[in-house]
């Protein structure tokens, strides 16, 4: 009896083991049959996407170079070239990303619908960026300045030579080689001074003399200095005049025109020449001083 029971249990365990083995083999086969094709398809999509990205980047760079050469031949303004290059580059990369998404089976139409649904939120979040983009367009259309101009932003007193005009920002290089990045919206919506818009610029100096000095003699010295300046523009008027009778000095004004590119050099040289000429001719230049009177007490 016991032997029959043991035999029955053994047969039952054997059948159960075979059943489980068959079930496991079937499950593994089904899982592999479903997973492997998807894994290979995804791996192929990744490889294809990388290839498309590398080739796409080269094509984009080639198109940008062709566009730059075309604009250079047509003598397009440097700022316009930089701005157009930034916009076209951004659009081409958007197309490239959309193409790569399509490789993974993501329909660009659904992506566009999602982007459209978030348009209002994105518009509010990127309001400043959109304002800067619009400012860049206005700068290129109205031409308040171009690349190479020396401008002064009146609101925050930033100044420098314009080196680049991009989609959202304009870059300035200062005299001491610092880089200033200003949003286009700020430049488009506020006043600014373009110091190099014209090819000629007026030097306006104020020179002070003492009340005891001879005004005519001082004016004659200044006139001789201006006449001797070979870099000034001769056909433009020169003015030497009494600007103001100040509290402790007579302020004389000097106005004459020079080429814009030589403005600072001539200005600095003229100030030095005035000091030497006044010293040689006994003309004093007043300066602030404090007189202390000591009063004896009993």
Backbone angles phi, psi at 254, to 5 degrees: -125, 125
> Does the pLDDT value for residue 27 go beyond 50?
no
Q: What pLDDT is attached to residue 23?
A: 46
Higher pLDDT, 195 or 43: 195
Q: Which of 61-75, 182-196, 201-215 is the most confident on average?
A: 201-215
Predicted confidence at residue 79, as pLDDT, reads 72
What single DSSP character describes residue 208?
A: E
Cβ burial, residue 139 (10 Å; 0-12/13-18/19+): buried
What's the pLDDT band for 179 if we cut at 50, 70, 90?
very high
Cα 136 to the center of its chain, rounded Å? 11
105 φ, ψ to 5°? 85, 10
Window from 79-88, 148-157, 162-171, 287-296 with minimum mean pLDDT:
287-296
Picking from 124, 131, 143, 126, the residue whose alpha carbon sits closest to that of residue 189 is: 131
pLDDT mean over 249-261: 96
The terminus-to-terminus CA distance of the chain in angstroms comes to: 144
- Three-class secondary structure of residue 148 per DSSP: coil
Catalogue all structural domains in the chain, each as residue range(s) with its CATH number.
Answer: 128-194 (2.30.30.60), 200-280 (3.30.70.100)
Bigger pLDDT: 155 vs 79: 155
> How far is residue 246's CA from residue 211's CA, in Å, rounded to a whole number?
10
The overall average pLDDT reported for the chain is: 81
- Taking the model in full, what pTM does it have? 0.58
What is the average per-residue pLDDT within 15-29? 50
Is the pLDDT at 95 greater than 60, yes or no? Answer: yes
Nearest to residue 195, comparing CAs of 264, 242, 276, 255? 264
């Amino acid at each position: 009896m016991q032997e029959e029971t043991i035999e029955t249990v053994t047969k039952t365990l054997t059948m159960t083991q075979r059943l489980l083995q068959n079930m496991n083999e079937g499950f593994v086969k089904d899982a592999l049959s479903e997973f492997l094709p998807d894994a290979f398809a995804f791996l192929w999509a990744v490889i294809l996407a990388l290839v498309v990205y590398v080739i796409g980047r080269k094509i984009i760079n080639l198109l940008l170079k062709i566009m730059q050469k075309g604009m250079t031949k047509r003598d397009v303004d440097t700022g316009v070239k930089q701005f157009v290059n930034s916009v076209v580059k951004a659009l081409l990369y958007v197309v490239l990303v959309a193409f790569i998404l399509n490789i993974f089976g993501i329909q660009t139409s659904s992506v566009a619908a999602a982007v459209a649904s978030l348009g209002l939120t994105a518009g509010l979040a990127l309001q400043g960026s959109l304002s800067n983009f619009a400012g860049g367009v206005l700068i290129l259309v109205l031409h308040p300045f171009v690349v190479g101009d020396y401008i002064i932003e009146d609101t925050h007193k930033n100044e420098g030579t314009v080196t680049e005009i991009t989609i959202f920002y304009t870059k300035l290089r200062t005299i001491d080689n610092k880089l200033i990045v200003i949003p286009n919206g700020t430049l488009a919506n506020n006043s600014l001074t373009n110091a190099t818009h014209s090819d000629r610029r007026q030097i306006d100096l104020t020179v002070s003399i003492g009340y005891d000095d001879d005004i005519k003699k001082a004016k004659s010295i200044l006139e001789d200095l201006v006449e001797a300046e070979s870099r000034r523009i001769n056909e433009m008027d020169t003015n030497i005049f009494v600007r103001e009778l100040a509290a402790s000095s007579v302020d004389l004004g000097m106005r004459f025109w020079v080429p814009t590119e030589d403005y600072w050099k001539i200005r600095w040289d003229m100030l030095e020449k005035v000091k030497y000429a006044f010293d040689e001719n006994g003309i004093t230049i007043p300066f602030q001083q404090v007189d202390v009177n000591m009063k004896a007490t009993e």
